């Protein structure tokens, strides 16, 4: 829910109300239910509200409580439990909102309040006694928080585009981040952004700003590695029961809402488990209304998941709405999605996801549960097999080799196909870097990001949660849902469930080559058999390759526009090379072509003349 903005003038002059209004108006999609602001001395807060809990005017922000002032984006799912606990400590409440509970929590626990929260958040709290701003972002970075210092002003925002409201501010390219995106596909892996001077507060971090001397410090309050500890000895049956309990409780908390709640259903194991879990919880509460879902389908394509979606619909009897993205719709929405995302997008799936959330809103759904996080914590990707094999080959060589053949069987992969896949994988990194592109754009290697080694199943999960993987997926999820004025909630990123899963033994995640074993077994009573026995992993896929080959001349034109926008990056070899890629259908290079086009379109929106039109 919501959009936030704040500014501190380091010259100690008053903040103009007009500036706050303009900044929050730029993200009206995040807060369509009203905007407000508050100024005091040389600082000010702005807030745009998407009303989810306590729809009355009592929930309006910036909110005041015992002298504290907050602008906050997110949801505290355990706010009822915290409210009861704080009432026992003598606190009283004038609203039914989670915002007031958050303020009272800060008043009682101080900055340690975040360790009592189960939710997603990005907020700034003014503390009059300490004369400081306490800024925080949730453990995994589900909700965004950007900040910058510009012309003696410290500013923070939900979205980067809000900084365009600052007089004289002009976007400048961060070449290192752009390079890593184009060459490696990296995104949101650091505090730096595509914009020079704009940073994001990383998940699990605080920012404390001293309003007296205008200094600030950033601290990590949550590190997943510190939560690792061996679980008590559990049988598989006990572990499965405990997992089911934790997942259903995570879903239960995320059903708390004063507006309609639905879910995104892909037909995969994760989203199906959430929907079936939702229905089971609603039945226990005696409710006869089933949750509604929205699905993305591609009839006639090998990536179409309609058969699995329909199996879930048949099992549950719930109402499902299907979206059918097309090449034409994708091209029409591309620039809008980039504008909402603030940064280039890596694939067409980002646009398809936006269309899912837009459809959800059109169908009257304001809150959507989604399955992000399950693959990262439960070894759902193929990349988890390598560290598992390395570990198992030392303990049980024969068993490890048998599991390799089990993998081939489950995924219907023959030996020659497997060998070809390995060879393509080994060549892919070299092919997609394109040495001549690196030569036209020299970057100091010392400034480039180095991924942590995936040396175990658990470490691979940690790397995906904190480095390359989850951060960009959360970026896409937040901007796409908020672009449609929809709040997305992610049960698999309930910190209690994440910590439990990361401490599980490997065999409960991948068992006899079957990924997400414990999820399958825990939700088996509720899932259709077709989904329970589904072993292929598509992710949120689109027929991007087919679309490129469907309209090569249009993509060629966009590649030419990219070269014209950034001739210093895409030199004289770019167009001949990309033309050959399209002509010969060299699909291994398509991701680079897509990123290049997306980067070019982003550049024209944010770095060129188009931004003047948008700001106007």
393: in domain: no
Residues 571 and 473 in one domain: no
Q: d(Cα 230, Cα 223) in Å, to the nearest integer?
A: 17
Residues 172 and 244 in one domain: no
Taking the CB of residue 303, how many other CB atoms lie within 10 A of it? 15
Residues 6+ apart with CB under 8 A from 300: none
306: nearest Cα among 298, 294, 317, 314: 298
11: in domain: yes
Residues 474 and 562 in one domain: no
Task: Show the DSSP H helices in 378-504 as ranges.
Answer: 385-395, 397-410, 415-433, 435-439, 457-466, 470-483, 495-502
Residues 153 and 233 in one domain: no
Tokens of 616: 């106007």
CATH of the domain at 171: 3.60.20.10
pLDDT value of position 425: 44
Contact (Cβ atoms closer than 8 angstroms) between residue 488 and residue 357: yes
Domain final residue, candidates 532, 565, 589: 532
- Which residue is associated with the tokens 């409780």? 249
CA dihedral (63, 68, 74, 79) in degrees, to 10, reads -100
Contact (Cβ atoms closer than 8 angstroms) between residue 74 and residue 143: yes
419: in domain: no
Assign 3-state DSSP to the chain and report helix, strand, coil percentages, each to 5. 50, 15, 35
Global pTM exceeds 0.85: yes
Residues 509 and 601 in one domain: no
Cis (ω within 30 of 0) for the bond into 299?
Answer: no
Domain final residue, candidates 532, 554, 572: 532
Residues 6+ apart with CB under 8 A from 258: 51, 52, 53, 54, 55
Q: Cα–Cα–Cα angle for 488, 105, 475, nearest 5°?
A: 25
201: nearest Cα among 101, 251, 134: 134
Residue numbers in the chain where pLDDT is lower than 70 = 1, 288, 394, 396, 398-401, 403-440, 442, 537-540, 609-616
Q: d(Cα 422, Cα 389) in Å, to the nearest integer?
A: 15
16: in domain: yes
Question: Please, what's the b/e burial string for 70-81 (b: 16 or more CB within 10 A of its CB; e: otherwise)?
Answer: bbbbbbbbbbee
Residues 59 and 144 in one domain: yes
Residues 502 and 610 in one domain: no
pLDDT value of position 420: 54
| DSSP assigned state of 511 | E
Residues 141 and 13 in one domain: yes
Residues 230 and 358 in one domain: yes
**What separation in angstroms does the CA of 54 have from each of 79, 204, 372, 414, 461?**
12, 27, 27, 56, 36
pLDDT value of position 431: 43
Q: What is the distance of C-alpha 451 from the center of its chain?
A: 19
Q: d(Cα 195, Cα 172) in Å, to the nearest integer?
A: 6
CATH of the domain at 321: 3.40.50.620
Main-chain dihedrals φ then ψ at residue 144, nearest 5 degrees: -85, 150
Contact (Cβ atoms closer than 8 angstroms) between residue 548 and residue 593: yes
Tokens of 469: 């993987």
List, for residues 352-381, the tens digit of each pLDDT value: 999 999 999 999 999 999 999 999 999 998
Domain final residue, candidates 500, 532, 564: 532
pLDDT value of position 20: 96
521: in domain: yes
Domain that holds residue 77: 3-222
Task: Show the DSSP H helices in 89-142 as ranges.
Answer: 98-109
Residues 6+ apart with CB under 8 A from 605: 335, 338, 339, 611, 614
Task: Say how many CA atoms lie within 13 Å of 275 toward its Cβ.
Answer: 33
**What element of type H or E holds 87?**
helix 79-88
Give the distance between the most distant pair of CA atoms in the chain: 72
387: in domain: no
Residues 31 and 60 in one domain: yes
| Entry field: residues in the chain | 616
Residues 187 and 60 in one domain: yes
420: in domain: no
pLDDT value of position 432: 46
Residues 106 and 239 in one domain: no
Q: d(Cα 438, Cα 13) in Å, to the nearest integer?
A: 46
**What separation in angstroms does the CA of 566 have from each of 140, 447, 518, 571?**
34, 21, 49, 8
Residues 6+ apart with CB under 8 A from 183: 432, 433, 434, 437, 438
Catalytic residue positions?
A: 2
65: nearest Cα among 38, 94, 36, 87: 94
Q: Are strands 320-323 and 487-489 parallel, antiparallel or unpaired?
A: unpaired
Helix (H, G, I), strand (E, B) or coil at 569: coil
The total domain count for the chain is 3
432: in domain: no
């Amino acid at each position: 829910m919501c959009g936030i903005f704040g500014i501190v003038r380091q010259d100690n002059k008053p903040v103009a109300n007009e500036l706050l209004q303009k900044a929050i108006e730029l993200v009206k999609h995040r807060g369509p239910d009203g905007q407000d602001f508050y100024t005091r001395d040389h600082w000010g807060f702005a807030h745009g509200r998407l009303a989810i809990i306590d729809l009355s005017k009592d929930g309006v922000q910036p909110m005041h409580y015992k002298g504290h002032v907050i602008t906050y984006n997110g949801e505290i799912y355990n706010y009822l439990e915290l409210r009861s606990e704080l009432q026992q400590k003598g606190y009283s409440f004038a609203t039914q909102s989670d915002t007031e509970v958050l303020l009272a929590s800060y008043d009682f626990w101080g900055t340690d309040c975040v360790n009592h929260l189960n939710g997603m958040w990005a907020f700034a709290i003014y503390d009059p006694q300490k004369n400081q701003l306490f800024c925080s972002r949730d453990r995994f970075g589900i909700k965004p928080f950007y900040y910058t210092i510009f012309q003696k002003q410290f500013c923070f925002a939900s979205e980067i585009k809000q900084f365009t409201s600052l007089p004289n501010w002009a976007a400048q390219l961060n070449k290192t981040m752009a390079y890593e995106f184009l060459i490696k596909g990296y995104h949101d892996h650091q505090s730096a952004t595509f914009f020079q001077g704009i940073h994001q507060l990383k998940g699990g971090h605080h920012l404390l700003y001293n309003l007296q001397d205008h200094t600030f410090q950033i601290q990590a309050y949550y590190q997943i590695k510190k939560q690792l500890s061996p679980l008590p000895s559990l049988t598989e049956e006990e572990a499965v029961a405990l997992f089911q309990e934790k997942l259903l409780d995570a879903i239960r908390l995320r059903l708390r809402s004063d507006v309609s709640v639905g879910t995104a259903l892909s037909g995969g194991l994760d989203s199906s488990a959430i929907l079936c879990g939702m229905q089971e919880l609603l039945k226990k509460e005696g409710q006869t209304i089933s949750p509604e879902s929205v699905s993305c389908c591609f009839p006639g394509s090998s990536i179409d998941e309609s058969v699995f979606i329909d199996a879930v619909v048949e099992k549950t009897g719930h109402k499902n709405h299907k979206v059918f993205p097309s090449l034409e719709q994708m091209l029409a929405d591309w620039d809008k999605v980039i504008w909402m995302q603030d940064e280039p997008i890596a694939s067409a799936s980002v646009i398809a996801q936006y269309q899912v959330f837009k459809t959800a809103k059109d169908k009257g759904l304001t809150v959507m549960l989604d399955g992000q996080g399950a693959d990262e914590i439960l070894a759902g990707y193929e990349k988890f097999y390598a560290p598992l094999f390395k570990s198992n080959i030392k303990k049980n060589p024969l068993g490890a080799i048998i599991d390799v053949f089990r993998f081939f069987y489950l995924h219907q992969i023959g030996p020659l196909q497997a060998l070809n896949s390995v060879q393509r994988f080994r060549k892919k990194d070299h092919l997609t870097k394109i040495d001549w592109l690196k030569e036209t754009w020299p970057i100091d290697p010392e400034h480039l990001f180095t991924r942590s080694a995936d040396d175990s199943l658990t470490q691979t999960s940690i790397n995906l949660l904190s480095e390359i993987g989850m951060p960009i997926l959360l970026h896409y999820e937040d901007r796409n849902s908020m672009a449609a004025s929809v709040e997305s909630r992610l049960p698999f990123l309930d910190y209690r469930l994440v910590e439990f899963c990361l401490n599980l033994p490997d065999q409960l995640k991948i068992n006899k080559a079957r990924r997400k074993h414990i999820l399958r077994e825990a939700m088996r009573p509720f899932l259709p058999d077709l989904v329970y026995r589904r072993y292929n992993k598509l992710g949120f896929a689109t027929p991007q390759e087919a679309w490129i080959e469907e309209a090569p001349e249009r993509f060629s034109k966009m590649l030419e526009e990219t070269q014209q926008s950034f001739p210093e990056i895409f030199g004289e070899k770019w167009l001949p090379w990309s033309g050959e890629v399209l002509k010969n259908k060299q699909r291994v290079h398509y991701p680079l072509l897509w990123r290049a086009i997306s980067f070019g379109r982003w550049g024209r929106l944010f770095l060129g003349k188009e931004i003047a039109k948008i700001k106007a």
